[in-house]
Each structure stands twice: as C-alpha cells, then as structure tokens.
Structure 1
Amino acid sequence: MYKIIYGILILIYTLYSFFVSDGSEVRFIMVLTIVLIFSVVLEKRMD
C-alpha cells in the first residue's frame, strides 16, 4: 500500500517540477503536505 502512495507522490513531484519553474517552493511544500495528510487518511479508511 505504501508503495502506491510513494509512487503517487513521485508522480506528483515529477509533474509539478515540469509545470512549475517559477520558484514557488512554499506552495509546493503546502501541496505535498496536503497530499501526505490525505494519503494517511485514505490509509486509515482502508484499514
């Protein structure tokens, strides 16, 4: 299950680095944090 989450995170990171190149790292950190929290919530719901 965690491999799927990490795969999604890597995919999001790759897409984000392709589309965003204006140095808005704070926004990226916020998005990544939201995704991590969301994945933890999904993990708990599936259990």
Structure 2
Amino acid sequence: MHKIINFIYGILLLIYTLYSLFVGDGSAVRFTMVLAILLIFSMVLEKGNAKKTTD
C-alpha cells in the first residue's frame, strides 16, 4: 500500500517541480518542499513497517 502512495507522491513531486521550474513563481518552492517531506516520511514509515514484519 505504501509503495503505491510513494509512487503517487513521487509523480506529483516530479510534475509539480517541472511545472514550478517553467511556469511557477517563487511561492511554488514551499509546496514542493511539503511534497518532498511527505514522500520521505512515507518511505521511512514503509521501511519501519517492513522491518517489523520480517522480525
């Protein structure tokens, strides 16, 4: 389940980053940072859950 969510966050981050580079202004940086933090947090949670299930 988390792999699907991570994939979606990654795609959103990529699309929004490309959009902000070519079209957006400086305010897009904050939203890009939020998406990146959510992606990293989700990956950390997934890695923690994977360790619990293998132990």
User: TM-score, normalized by length of structure 2?
Assistant: 0.52
- Please report how far the alpha carbon of residue 8 of structure 1 lies from its aligned counterpart in structure 2 after TM superposition: 2.7
**Which ranges of structure 2 fall in alignment gaps of 5 or more residues?**
17-26
Partner of 1:43: 50
Which structure 1 segments of 5+ residues have no match?
A: none
What amino acid sits opposite 1:46 in the alignment? Answer: T
Runs of 4+ in 1 over 6 A off after TM superposition: none
Q: Is the 8 A contact 2:2 2:42 kept in 1?
A: no
Q: Whose relative contact order is higher, 1 or 2, with alpha carbons under 8 Å and at least 6 apart?
A: 1
Aligned residues: 38
TM-score if structure 1 supplies the norm length? 0.58
Superposition RMSD in Å = 2.4
The answer to whether 1:9 aligns with 2:16 is no
